[in-house]
Amino acid sequence: MHCTSQRSIVSTSALRSSTPKQGDSSKSDPSTSPIPPPKKTSPSIPVDSLCIPLTPPYSLLSYLPTSPPPLSRETLLKLHRLSALEPPQTEQEWDQLKGLDGLVALVEGVRSIDTSSVPADSEAGFVDARIRAKPTEHGLDMNRHNHEDIASSTYLGLASTTRGAYYVVPTPENVRGKKSSKTSDLGVTEIE
């Protein structure tokens, strides 16, 4: 089964030629005028009933060179020395490094892409696509200057327990260090 599109693309010149002009006495119906079928440019790919391809239409391996250039032992030794790594000691360890040849081929494939038609960063005007919360107004004026200066002793007087100019927060019984708590700021050691 092959899926085909039911839509056809009609150019504006084809529409102009199929519509009658004001001075034209012939009554041609635009729905019956011959419109050329769209040209097929892609090969037919077998698809299922939902028009999903049964096999991938392309492979990334087709973009890689057929035979990746092998890395020589001298190159691998130099890379190990530059990265301060210990080079392989056994032949089995050297064989494991042969998997890097495919990676080198991938990097070479990426480097061979022609980017001359892509504008530079400054010309392209890249947009910052990070998602950030927008600041919202909550009706609070943070720059108010009409409040009174209230002494901290007023607030201390509202606390149930204070010691000097500090609030005392009760500690639950199951908290470590309750029996011997040292406060270096107060210079007081409490032992219960």
Question: Is residue 105, in this structure, part of any structural domain at all?
Answer: yes
Question: Is residue 29, in this structure, part of any structural domain at all?
Answer: no
Q: Residue 16 has what pLDDT?
A: 44
Q: Quickly list DSSP for the chain.
A: -----S-----HHHHHHHSPPTT------TTTS--PPPPP-S----B-TTS-BSS-S--GGGGS-SSPPPPPHHHHHHHHHHTT-PPP-SHHHHHHGGGHHHHHHHHHHHHTS--TTSPPHHHHT-------PPP---S--TT---S----HHHHHHHSS-EETTEE-----TTSTTSSEEEETTTTEEEE-
Answer with the residue of higher pLDDT: 16 or 99: 99
**What is the number of structural domains in the chain?**
1
Question: Is residue 78, in this structure, part of any structural domain at all?
Answer: yes
Question: Is residue 132, in this structure, part of any structural domain at all?
Answer: no
Label residue 78 by pLDDT band (50, 70, 90): very high
Question: Is residue 86, in this structure, part of any structural domain at all?
Answer: yes
Does the pLDDT value for residue 178 go beyond 50? yes
Residue-wise pLDDT tens digits, 117-161 = 877 665 556 667 788 888 777 766 666 655 567 777 788 888 888
Question: Is residue 97, in this structure, part of any structural domain at all?
Answer: yes
Q: Residue 184 has what pLDDT?
A: 44
Question: Is residue 71, in this structure, part of any structural domain at all?
Answer: yes
Q: What range defines the domain where residue 91 resides? A: 65-109
Residue-wise pLDDT tens digits, 23-62 = 444 454 555 556 666 555 556 788 898 988 888 877 777 7
Question: Is residue 90, in this structure, part of any structural domain at all?
Answer: yes
